[in-house]
Structure 1
Amino acid sequence: MAERIQTVSAWESLFRAQVSVMRTLSAEFPSDIMSLNEYDVLFNISRAPGRRLRLRELNRQVLITQPSVSRLIDRLVARGLVEKSEDPLDGRGTVVALTPKGFSLFRQVAFVHMDAISRNVGAVLDDEELATLAALCDRLRIGITGDAGPEAPVVEA
């Protein structure tokens, strides 16, 4: 077990780095097309098999509250970006799926966002450091949640 002072110092470094990176990425995000929260929802649905995800699972993966996710999904449905249907395995549940229009718009924004990530993160860390950072973050997340999560999607041109 790590010393408490070292643990808190590492947490502060991680937190401050995350805030700095997110502020920069938010400033460069194409929010005229969609919000970061909308992107986060579409990103998580895009990672699911068949680009379909139970609403209950989506709520566990995003950073906004369940009522906010429900309202956001309704807005995405109204824009034709996702579809809602009854969960065939649980009639009380809901499944959300990306529409072709939703996936196309998601990809458009994903490429812009990936460019910003590459410029702002990839330019600061080399390949080995990026691999170490990813491994450490995955280990931390899995150690806390026990959830390895799905593989990251490949967003093809």
Structure 2
Amino acid sequence: MRALAAEFPSEVISLNEYDVLFNITRAPGRRLRLKDLNRSVLITQPSVSRLVDRLTARGLVTKEHDPEDGRGTIVAITEEGFALFRRVAFTHVDAITKHVGNSLDEEELRTLTELCDRLRLGVSEEQRAQRSDESPGA
């Protein structure tokens, strides 16, 4: 991870900003509810909100009210944001390939992906359970 972080083009965008853009680009139409984005990244909800505000100010994403939920917000990547994401992604993928990709064969990479997905889903379920335990009347 240190080697990946050292080679990440942080003068262009932070790793957390990249993570947010990555998650938005994976969503249908490159649009994602802020609530769903919060579940997918490794930083706290207030930090995600501030980060999205900074990305909006830079013209990399837009925010709009969720038409299906008046309290919700939809975050979408702009063309400028997507171009920046792709440029950084190529550099980042090259570093991942250099430091990780050559160490594992295809089957090991599939297994690693499955394990990471299981861990990510497990953490999401645990966080949902904690939030419901903390809600009033629980």
TM range, smaller chain: 0.7 to 0.9
Partner of 2:97: 118
User: Which structure 1 residue ranges, 5 or more long, are not aligned?
Assistant: 1-21, 147-157
> Residue 82 of structure 1: CA displacement?
0.2
User: Which structure 2 residue ranges, 5 or more long, are not aligned?
Assistant: 126-138
Whole-Å separation in 2 of the counterparts to 1:77 and 1:145: 26
Partner of 2:13: 34
Whole-Å separation in 1 of the counterparts to 2:76 and 2:120: 26
The residue identity in structure 2 corresponding to 1:87 is D
> Residue 92 of structure 1: CA displacement?
1.0
Count of aligned pairs: 125
What TM-score do you get using the length of structure 1 for normalisation? 0.75
For 1:7-156, list aligned pairs within 5 A: 22-142=1-121, 145=124
Percent identity over the alignment is 71
The residue identity in structure 1 corresponding to 2:117 is D
CA RMSD of aligned residues (A): 1.4
What TM-score do you get using the length of structure 2 for normalisation? 0.85
